[in-house]
Amino acid sequence: MTQAKTRSAVISRLALLAGVGFAALGLGVLFHELSSAHLVSQSFRPLEESDRATAAGGRFLFDELYNADPAKLTRADFDRALEDSESSYEKASGLKIKSDQRKHILWPRVQSAPYRKAPLAIVYLHGFSAGPLELEPTISTLAEELGAPLLVTRLEGHGLENTNNGASEAMSRARARDWWRDTNEAMIVGNMLGERVLLIGTSTGAALALTYADLKEGRGSSDGPAAVILLSPNYRVQAFGAWLLEAALGRWLATLFVGAEREFAPQNALHAERWTTRYRSEAVHEMLLVAKRARGVGVESLSMPVFTVYAPEETVVDTSEIAKRAELFKNPKSQTLAVDWLKRHELASATFNPELVPRLVETLRLWVRSAIEIEISPREK
């Protein structure tokens, strides 16, 4: 009898401990979701409230152009404003931007001074730890074939020379709100370049592009993108347990689990040149916040056509998150294409799969011509 009572007491205590443990786990998950949602909100809210805001409350890149008479602007005005912006960044940060990875515009060969808006302009957003040349020459070739000016931005902390570990430190200082500012700024300029804008993003750049389109859709704004192309969109990474790094302690947990720095071996010379291959692991937390914000977009409410292209066998982002959104997009011209002839997250560029660049460009070009009802003339030869 005594033994039975003892066993019963032990079982009761174990049950109590298990209940407490499950309750604590539940509270932990709830705290994680609430804290990560709060972080996402705080990262994006300042710029959602004002299109022209900057993360630091500073001067808008194109203030003097935005307020100028568009009929008096020239290509040189745009180029000078971009270069002044990058030079100011270098001076303030003490860091050096790689010469071929600065914010820039690739212009159609047809000259016009003052500048006349093109029927279509393209804005490109690169991915996390990559840079403006990530998919080159794919994006510039597409722009050339469409006869469209191409604005290529550089996300905060990317495309830097790693002198004295400067690139690594810059990545750790960058925040999701900085990348959102860069996206917002690029699209404002894109709308100055073209009557309509095609917004293209790769990986985390695609997550930013989708979030921007969603914001403009929600506001009923007339200056949102006419169409969006999402290349290997980052809704969620495949890495096990990455969701833990989304919460309030995410930056600390990244350092704990990943180490102070994350480094990967470049697979060729262009990979080493075009990517930041070593950075403080804290930066991963900010990337995950961008992905989480993109997961919250109700793609079924987007009226503009969206073209999603991804490699189903890739190993970086969770392709099931891409696939489950395939049939949800509202516009009948929207399409999700799982390309079995591409095997990498990075799709095709001079860096990876260069022989497939023409095929990828043609895939994108055909969709754009079918999705955007506007007369587009190729660049003059």
**Which pLDDT does position 267 carry in this prediction?**
96
String of DSSP letters for 307-340: EEEE-TT-SSB-HHHHHTTTTT-SSTT-EEEE-T
* Vertex 346 angle, CA 86 and 83, to 5°: 10
String of DSSP letters for 11-38: HHHHHHHHHHHHHHHHHHHHHHHHHHHH
The pairing of strands 261-263 and 278-280 is: antiparallel
Residue ranges of the chain with per-residue pLDDT less than 70: 1-71, 110-113, 242-243, 247-251, 374-381
CB 213 within 8 Å of CB 125: no
**Which pLDDT does position 169 carry in this prediction?**
84
| List of residues 6+ apart from 40 with CB closer than 8 A | 176, 289, 292, 293, 296
Q: Roughly what angle, to the nearest 10 degrees, separates helices 283-295 and 176-193?
A: 60
**Which pLDDT does position 122 carry in this prediction?**
98
Distance of CA 372 to the CA centre of its chain: 22
**Which pLDDT does position 218 carry in this prediction?**
84
**Which pLDDT does position 271 carry in this prediction?**
96
Our CA dihedral for 48, 52, 56, 61, rounded to 10 degrees, sits at 140
CB 350 within 8 Å of CB 137: yes
Domains (range + CATH), the chain: 2-371 (3.40.50.1820)
Q: What is the pTM of this model?
A: 0.84
CB 202 within 8 Å of CB 195: no
Place of tokens 């040189």: 76
**Which pLDDT does position 44 carry in this prediction?**
53
